[in-house]
Amino acid sequence: MRNLELAEIFDRIADMLEIKGENPFKVRAYRKVVLTLESLPEDIERIYERGRLKNIPGVGEGSAKKIEELLKTGKLAYYEELKESLPEGLVEMLSVPDVGPKTAQLLYKKLGIESIDEMEKAAKGGKIKGLEGMGEKTEENILRGVELLRRRTGRMLLGTAYQMSQSIIERLTTMDEVELISPAGSLRRMKETVGDIDILITSKKPKPVMDIFVNLPEVTQVLAHGDTKSSVIMENRVQVDVRVVESGSFGAALQYFTGSKQHNIKIREIAGKNGLKVNEYGVFRGKKKIAGKEEEEVYLSIGLSHIPPELREDRGEVESALKGKLPELVELSDIKGDMHVHSSWSDGVDTIPELAESAKKLGYGYIAICDHSASLKVAGGLSRERRLKQIAEIKKLNKKMADFRILAGGEIDIRTDGTLDCEEEVLKKLDIVVAAIHTGFKQDIETMTSRIIKAMRNKFVNVIAHPTGRLIQTRDPYQVDMQKVFTEAKRTNTFLELNSFPDRLDLNDINCREAKAHGIKIALGTDCHNRMQMEVMRYGVGTARRGWLEKKDVINCLELDDLLKLLAKKRK
């Protein structure tokens, strides 16, 4: 799959333009292309072959030309020129969280720093704090950022793993020799980051299957090449393990290789107590195999109901299954609308009618358009005037829509003092208000907690977006007392978002479960900036399932009328 490779190049271009101090809107345009490429459900080469590059939302004429050049020649002159003009390590320094282009450039000019290692050394040696506008805090931030970056290496985001696996599975499925095929491991458990991709196959003729697999065009290194197991490294440094088993063992192998390890240990203990043995070939009583073909029968044979993969972390799921008390987890098909969508009115790509059309195709009954508020200028935040105009436009559009409703919403900034970046008189006119923190991430825990609580006490605020503010592998959550947030959310009838974007997944699985324990309902939104990204809902649903959430815990499993009633309750 070339999509991620191209995305990386566009990301680098944006980095370099940033260092050069180019217009932030131009930089953002490149970042948008990155997001688009990363979320494309189809191979870019196939789209190109059909001559549809320009139809990809978010890809303008200029970017389309660059993609074409890359696909045709494997190179991009513009990119090469940019690279020539800057020291290599300087661009890499930007991948350290909290190191922006200004800092990187200053360090380069004043201290001659050209790499992450040199930067770390300088921060440790206290050489940076003397520079203009920099202090001990800067050095601490740099060191923490370097550590975060080092922790990141080796694991990929769930979204990346999912797309890569789909692309591999798609191609292997076309082979006659492949019977059943499924992801396994942490990917099947929908864990927010994935170490390596595991795929399980049944086949009577494993050899040709493995031959095709290790020779896929994106394979750069073959670690193992056998009939039952092959492992490769792909061009983006990702490891993929494929195992082939007989169909009679598929269920047992799937159970075994889905993990988690801790879960499997529990399973074997329970089996042992019943005089049974479980391994990747089946469930055995003595020499007799009593289960193995279907995963469900593996669980049934040891006295458990089938445990959904997302729960298999040894967090009480085995005990619940023993009592027959597993939750009935929410499913993607239960979702009736997307609660957090951006349009071209702010920093999204698509128009509201385009977004509505795509939502309808997904089988949704509504979407909430939640464009940014005025203070977020770089994201094209809406002024009072434009907000009112948008509300009027949505009203007009809704008149023409059958069986579908566009909710006029807003992603309204929570200012550092906890007030909202929008007048009440305008908030009043919105169907749903999603409040979010985009600035002042470094406030201390008391300030941050009361800031969020103050926002929740505003009777117009329905949802707190991405409540902990983390970006997976890039930015730690801000300091906030989540127990207090949960208590206040319940008291004020405020919902918490589970932002489904792969680098957010915020609330995470554990916080979702905690929120549920407090009786709080969750709003699932994609935070999509183009219509294709509505697909990321699946990662949000996966995370919700890992948080033991059921249909009744998620407000956008409600039919429109019930949802509106629920939203209206707080305003009374």
Minimum distance, C-beta of residue 280 to ligand DGT, in the bound complex (Å): 8
Q: Report how far residue 339's alpha carbon sits from residue 329's, in angstroms, rounded to the nearest whole number.
A: 19
Q: Which helix (H) or strand (E) holds 64?
A: helix 61-73
CB of 229 to Ca ion, least distance (A): 10
Contact residue for ligand DGT among 30, 48, 213, 257 (CB under 6 A): 257
Q: Give the DSSP letter of residue 123.
A: H
Q: Binding to ligand DGT by residue 261, rule CB under 6 A?
A: yes
User: Residue 196 Cβ, how far from Ca ion at the closest point, in Å?
Assistant: 4
Task: Report the residue from 5, 22, 196, 334 that binds Ca ion according to the rule CB under 5 A.
Answer: 196
For 207, residues 6+ apart whose C-beta sits below 8 A from its C-beta are 227
241 binds Ca ion (CB under 5 A): yes
Stretch of residues binding Ca ion (CB under 5 A), selected from 190-198, 333-341, 406-414, 564-572:
190-198
Residues 277-316 that bind Ca ion (CB under 5 A): none
Q: Which does 58 bind (CB under 5 to 8 A by kind): ligand DGT, Ca ion, none?
A: none
Output 482-489 pairs: Cβ under 8 A, ≥24 positions apart.
482/511, 482/514, 484/449, 484/453, 485/449, 485/452, 485/453, 485/456, 486/514, 486/515, 486/518, 486/520, 487/518, 488/453, 488/456, 488/457, 489/456, 489/464, 489/515, 489/518, 489/520
The nearest distance, CB 164 to ligand DGT, in angstroms, is 13
Distance, in Å, from the CA atom of 265 to the CA atom of 367, rounded to the nearest integer, reads 43
The pairs formed by 310-317 with CB atoms below 8 angstroms and a separation of 24 or more are 310/189, 310/190, 310/542, 310/545, 310/546, 311/545, 311/546, 311/548, 312/189, 312/258, 312/259, 312/260, 312/263, 313/189, 313/260, 313/262, 313/263, 313/546, 314/260, 314/262, 314/263, 314/265, 314/266, 317/263
Question: Judged by CB under 6 A, which stretch of 201-209, 255-263, 345-353, 457-465 contacts ligand DGT?
Answer: 255-263
Q: How far is the CB of 156 from ligand DGT (least distance, A)?
A: 9
Contact region with ligand DGT (CB under 6 A), list: 117-125, 129-137, 164-172, 253-261: 253-261
**C-alpha triplet 479, 540, 158: angle, nearest 5°:** 85
251 binds ligand DGT (CB under 6 A): no
- Per CB under 6 A, 194 contacts ligand DGT: yes
Stretch that binds ligand DGT, among 205-213, 254-262, 340-348, 430-438 (CB under 6 A): 254-262
Span near ligand DGT by CB under 6 A; candidates 62-70, 171-179, 188-196, 438-446: 188-196
Minimum separation from the CB atom of position 467 to ligand DGT (A): 25
- Rounded to the nearest 5 degrees, what angle is found at the Cα of 528, between the Cα atoms of 414 and 537? 110
CB proximity list for 116: less than 8 A, separation 6 or greater: 89, 92, 93, 95, 96, 146, 149
Contact between 198 and Ca ion by CB under 5 A: the answer reads yes
Nearest distance, CB of residue 224 and Ca ion, angstroms = 11
Which one of 180-188, 208-216, 489-497, 521-529 is the stretch in contact with Ca ion (CB under 5 A)? 180-188
* Minimum CB–partner distance for residue 72 and ligand DGT (Å): 36
H helices within 240-335, ranges in order? 250-258, 261-273, 295-301, 317-322
> Does 192 sit near Ca ion (CB under 5 A)?
no
Decide: is 260 part of the binding site for ligand DGT (CB under 6 A).
yes
Q: Which of 87, 89, 100, 195 binds ligand DGT (CB under 6 A)?
A: 195
- Among residues 3, 182, 264, 526, the one that binds ligand DGT under rule CB under 6 A: 264
- Contacting residues toward ligand DGT, per CB under 6 A: 185-186, 194-196, 198, 256-257, 259-261, 264
- Contacting residues toward Ca ion, per CB under 5 A: 185, 196, 198, 241
